[in-house]
Copies of this chain bind each other. A is one copy, B any other.
Amino acid sequence: MELLEICQRAKSVKYEVQKLGTEDKNRALFKVAECLESEAKYILDANSKDYENGLKNGMHQGMLDRLKLDEKRIEAMAEGVRQVAGLEDPIGTVIENFERPNGLKISKVRVPFGVIGIIYESRPNVTADAFSLTFKSGNAVILKGGSDAINSNIAITRVIRDALSSEGINPDAVQLIEDTDRSVTQKFMQMKEYVDVLIPRGSERLIRAVVENSTIPVIETGTGNCHIYVDKDADLKKAIPIIINAKTQRIGVCNAVESLVVHESVKDEFLPLFDKAMKEYNVEIRADKASREILTDSALATDEDFGKEYLDYIISVKTVSDVSEAIDHINKYNTGHSESIITENEETARKFLNEVDAACVYVNASTRFTDGFEFGFGAEIGISTQKLHARGPMGLKELTSYKYEIIGTGQIRG
Which of B220, B353, B406 contacts A405, CB < 8 Å? B353
Which listed segment binds B: A71-79, A143-151, A209-217, A269-277? A209-217
**Contact assessment for A403 and B358 in the assembled complex, using a CB-CB cutoff below 8 Å:** yes
Q: Decide yes or no whether A412 CB sits under 8 A from chain B.
A: yes
State A361–B107 Cα separation when bound (angstroms): 10
State A104–B371 Cα separation when bound (angstroms): 13
**Contact assessment for B406 and A388 in the assembled complex, using a CB-CB cutoff below 8 Å:** no
**Contact assessment for B388 and A104 in the assembled complex, using a CB-CB cutoff below 8 Å:** no
**Interface size band for A:** 35 or more
**Contact assessment for B411 and A365 in the assembled complex, using a CB-CB cutoff below 8 Å:** yes
**Contact assessment for A403 and B360 in the assembled complex, using a CB-CB cutoff below 8 Å:** yes
Q: Decide yes or no whether A58 CB sits under 8 A from chain B.
A: no
Q: Decide yes or no whether A227 CB sits under 8 A from chain B.
A: no
**Contact assessment for A366 and B404 in the assembled complex, using a CB-CB cutoff below 8 Å:** no
Q: Decide yes or no whether A364 CB sits under 8 A from chain B.
A: yes
Which listed segment binds B: A120-128, A157-165, A241-249? A241-249
Which of B18, B196, B242 contacts A387, CB < 8 Å? B196
Q: Decide yes or no whether A185 CB sits under 8 A from chain B.
A: no
State A388–B113 Cα separation when bound (angstroms): 8
Which of B211, B249, B406 contacts A363, CB < 8 Å? B406
Chain B residues with CB under 8 A of A387: 113-114, 196-197, 217, 401
- Taking CB atoms and an 8 Å cut-off, the chain A residues in 348-381 that contact chain B are 349, 353-355, 357-366, 368-370, 374-376
20 pairs from A and B in contact (CB 8 Å cutoff): A15-B357, A196-B386, A217-B386, A238-B409, A238-B410, A244-B412, A246-B412, A353-B405, A358-B403, A360-B403, A360-B404, A361-B404, A363-B407, A364-B408, A364-B411, A365-B406, A365-B411, A366-B411, A389-B389, A391-B401
Closest 9 CB pairs of A and B: A365-B408, A245-B412, A387-B401, A389-B389, A368-B413, A238-B410, A217-B388, A365-B411, A364-B408
